[in-house]
A = this chain, B = another copy of it.
Amino acid sequence: MSPEEFRRAGHAAIDWIASYLESIESRRVLSDVSPGAIRQRMPAEPPPRSEPFEAWMADLERVVMPGLTHWQSPNFFAYFPANASEPSILGELISAGLGVQGMLWATSPACTEVETHVLDWLVGMLGLPDAFRSTGAGGGVLQDTASSSILCALLAARERATGFRSNAEGLAACTQRLVAYTSTQTHSSLAKAMRIAGLGEAALRLVDVDENHAMRPEALEVRISADRQAGLTPFFVCATIGTTSSNAIDPVEAIGELARRYGMWLHVDAAMSGTAALCPEFRWINRGVELADSYCFNPHKWMFTNFDCDVLWVRDRSALINTLTVLPEYLKNKATESGAVFDYRDWHIPLGRRFRALKLWFVIRHYGIEGLQALIRHHVALAELFESLVRADDRFEVVAPRPLNLICFRLRGDDVANERLLERINASGRAYLSHTKLNGRFVLRMSIGQTKVQERHVRAAWQLIRECV
């Protein structure tokens, strides 16, 4: 493509996105295609010769659009949001255009330094412990997802507990029998990480929760004691700030004290709710985080930075780096040898990495701290409104506390009625909610945090829900 062709096609692509976002409310939120329907619209064989941009864009409309669930629709209330925003889209665009690969500081110093700097900013913006700043012994790194972050934290904890023998000789050669702890409500990514790390899912203890679905520290201590008496080695505990099911906030401080007492690594997963700490009035969720060895949250959920963008901070970066570094000859360079730089490839699983910090930087500059705070407050206020609407209708019940912007509710009645209700809502195409189970009962989740959501969308969703009963 010549520069002129790229300009023309690029402008058209920008205009297409602008029109898409302008008209997104007119689209069904949840795609209703059948399995295989999208593939059937694609030619069986790839094109032998070049096709023009207009042909791809025509197929984007014809093939792709009917098969999309519109995560950027303000009528998307399912799961947790995966928000984009205009500055974030522009950041991703510039990053793709620059096409730098920041595996080492030396392979593009700005890719590393902008990231380190912006993540230091965020420590202050969120009121997190100074120990996470890169200017001391800690530091932050961008990962793709909280799943990868929790895996990296678990690996660093594993190596700390085995004196790096598991890395060197494998878990079968280690004398310790490692056990990890989390609540019954924790995200499935920890179970997956336990498997990946060779520790086994059976070594993950699921600790009981209280009536608010938050971990019970006294139950944690009972499990730890029993395991120690059985000759096992507690080495890792994960506390969640905002569980996926119900947004429960674990008591990080009490869990952290147990972690210190028993020499365990404390990881705090604040993937969804961490963003709320931009507002001082919501910082109570982070109480006790100064005891954490690692902490992650996802700007790609509630901070308007398009997927993928997860931040992992660690208190002791050397524990993470020593766990994940391997230095072959072809990557050696003077900057690395000087010790004066971060090579972020040593902070995560992949070797290569793109310039993800750019979009995060653009988002922070576009909104400013005050703009971000205003949006978070707006979403929490909308959630408060929705909760009051549910509570005012006797047919429904709110079944979990609403610390922030997720409402767990259900029809008073059996699960079948609630399942049917959810099906009717989603089949309408006018809103999209998802579900969970709490105390064994089927529950609807209304997650309010999409970049563009307004009061009218929340009221319309509630109206739709009532119509679907």
For residue A188, which residues in chain B have a CB less than 8 angstroms away from its CB?
326-328, 331, 351
Overall SS of chain A's interface:
helix
Q: Is A403 at the interface (CB under 8 A from chain B)?
A: no
B367, B368, B435: the one contacting A330 at CB < 8 Å is B435
Q: Is A308 at the interface (CB under 8 A from chain B)?
A: yes
Q: Is A148 at the interface (CB under 8 A from chain B)?
A: yes
Decide yes or no: A351 and B20 within 8 Å by CB, A109-B67, A368-B49 being known contacts.
no
Contacts of A137-175 to chain B: CB distance below 8 A: 144-148, 151, 155, 158, 166-174
Q: Is A437 at the interface (CB under 8 A from chain B)?
A: yes
B36, B39, B55, B172: the one contacting A177 at CB < 8 Å is B172
For residue A365, which residues in chain B have a CB less than 8 angstroms away from its CB?
47, 50-51, 55-56
Bound complex: CA of A116 vs CA of B145, how far in Å? Answer: 22
Decide yes or no: A167 and B155 within 8 Å by CB, A17-B97, A51-B366 being known contacts.
no
For residue A38, which residues in chain B have a CB less than 8 angstroms away from its CB?
109-110, 113-114, 117
Binds B, one of A193-201, A248-256, A279-287, A386-394: A193-201
B9, B124, B173: the one contacting A86 at CB < 8 Å is B9
Can you name 11 A-B pairs with beta carbons within 8 Å? A33-B110, A36-B340, A46-B369, A64-B358, A70-B100, A168-B200, A173-B200, A192-B326, A197-B197, A308-B352, A330-B434
Q: Is A454 at the interface (CB under 8 A from chain B)?
A: no
Contacts of A1-55 to chain B: CB distance below 8 A: 1, 3, 5-7, 9-11, 13-22, 31, 33, 35-39, 42, 45-51, 53, 55
Which residue on chain B has the smallest CB distance to residue A109?
B67
Counting chain B CB atoms within 10 Å of each CB, the highest count among A50, A323, A338 belongs to: A50
Binds B, one of A76-84, A214-222, A376-384, A458-466: A76-84
Q: Is A273 at the interface (CB under 8 A from chain B)?
A: no
Q: Is A223 at the interface (CB under 8 A from chain B)?
A: no
Which residue on chain B has the smallest CB distance to residue A345?
B147
Contacts of A285-308 to chain B: CB distance below 8 A: 300, 306-308
Q: Is A98 at the interface (CB under 8 A from chain B)?
A: yes
A36 with B113: CB separation less than 8 A: yes
For residue A203, which residues in chain B have a CB less than 8 angstroms away from its CB?
169-170
Binds B, one of A87-95, A234-242, A260-268, A311-319: A87-95
Counting chain B CB atoms within 10 Å of each CB, the highest count among A64, A177, A365 belongs to: A64
For residue A306, which residues in chain B have a CB less than 8 angstroms away from its CB?
96, 99, 354
For residue A151, which residues in chain B have a CB less than 8 angstroms away from its CB?
196, 349
B92, B201, B327, B366: the one contacting A93 at CB < 8 Å is B92
Decide yes or no: A324 and B93 within 8 Å by CB, A10-B17, A198-B197 being known contacts.
no
